Structure 1
Amino acid sequence: MKKFIVLKAFMALLVGFVSLGLLSCNDNDGPDIPPVKLQDVIGNYKGKLIISQGNNKNESIVGFAVKKDTIKFTDLPVKEIVKAVVKDPVKTEAALVALGKIKYNLNYTGAINTYYNAVELTFAPKTLELNIPMDGAIKKTIVTFAAKEKGFYVGQNYAMKFGLVAEKITVDGAVLTPYEMIKYDFPYCIKN
């Protein structure tokens, strides 16, 4: 009986060592991820945009094109910006219709981060100038954008993530006060 228990223990130990040995023979500890290149970022994207101001959040799907050093929006949502200037919901909608599609170019520089197999994007946002019609006059509005964090392009899933903040709005030369910052978060955008 004693020999049988020792034999069982020896077999269990042998099976354990063989299992560990087979696991350690696996050279491929993860999926093969091809390295990224700076030009991999270039293309057309579509993804989620979350615009938040205080406790208010709006989500939409937006599209944009990425060139060598610029992200080009052909229709940047500016409802929250116009609402901050106009205040009246009915006049805000009329102003948005009058403005039409808003084009905006966001400059960036890319650097390869090989450890994460991604391209880090450092932004240099330009101001956005809007001529908002209100009460028969045109309000010259300048929006100052900032990029608080770097953006990323991940080669494994062809996705981009970044964000912007509308830090300050100036209307006819005067800084808009009170004003709560508007955040533009692009948490997951996929290359078409």
Structure 2
Amino acid sequence: MKIKKVLRFLMFAAIALTGVSLISCLEDQYTPVPVKLSDVDGNYRARLVTSQGGKINEKLIDFNAKDSMITFKDFPAREVVKTIITDPAKADTVLAHLEKVEYKIKFKSKLNTEQNVIELALEPQLMAFQIPVEGVTKSVAVKMTAKQKGFYVGYDNSLRFAWEAEKITVGGTDITPYQTIKYEVPISIKN
């Protein structure tokens, strides 16, 4: 009999404690820290998703955003090289000897206080580098374009954007047939 009374008391105490703790949660509210245009500037680590046709490749990369410019010091040019050189063994040899390719994307930023984000109007630049093709070094020019805005999200301090390689020219000649290469940074973490 005493055990039943003790158990009832403990059950009542547990229910009362749970109710009090839930009431205290009602007063907790998330107050976002407002973003500023300068918040975009910084060094980032990102997951770059590259797709061409049905093939998808993911790679961790680092980049920098400063003064309305996103700069990749070592841009992964794998898909571009494999589009130019269709023999996989030769393409792998070229990739092994390819120097770092720097690539830059200009952007114009606009504050969206309602959603606590910074909208980025991307202006991808021409990517140019040299590769050896059949024993001759040739100039490669990749015309890039962006069809959607990028975003700096104040909630998690991340940068998200996408663009695509519209056309590849080697030594002044366009690569044909050509499938568009799409690049997407779905999430990047500010260092």
Structure-2 residue corresponding to 1:31? 30
- Give how far 1:141 is off: 1.3
8 Å CA contact 1:47–1:62 kept in 2: the answer is yes
Structure-1 residue corresponding to 2:130? 131
SS at 1:81's partner residue?
A: helix
SS at 1:93's partner residue?
A: helix
Overall identity of the aligned pairs, in %: 41
Structure-2 residue corresponding to 1:8? none
Structure-2 residue corresponding to 1:75? 74
Equivalent residue letter for 2:171: D
Structure-2 residue corresponding to 1:61? 60
CA-to-aligned-CA distance 1:165-185 (integer Å, 9 cap, x gap): 000011111111000000000
1:84 aligns with 2:83: yes
- The aligned runs of 1:13-162 (5 Å cut-off) are 30-162=29-161
In 2, distance between residues paired with 1:164 and 1:97?
A: 25
- Give how far 1:27 is off: 7.9
CA-to-aligned-CA distance 1:59-118 (integer Å, 9 cap, x gap): 111110110211110111110000000111111112112222111111111110111100
In 2, distance between residues paired with 1:132 and 1:70?
A: 26
8 Å CA contact 1:41–1:153 kept in 2: the answer is yes
Equivalent residue letter for 1:93: D
Equivalent residue letter for 1:181: T
SS at 1:115's partner residue?
A: coil
Coordinate RMSD, CA, aligned: 1.4
Equivalent residue letter for 2:96: V
List gaps (5 residues or longer) in structure 1. 1-22
Equivalent residue letter for 1:116: Q
List gaps (5 residues or longer) in structure 2. 1-22
Aligned length: 167
SS at 2:38's partner residue?
A: helix
CA-to-aligned-CA distance 1:98-151 (integer Å, 9 cap, x gap): 222111111111110111100001111111112111221112211000011000
SS at 1:180's partner residue?
A: coil
Structure-2 residue corresponding to 1:172? 171
In 1, distance between residues paired with 2:133 and 2:172?
A: 16
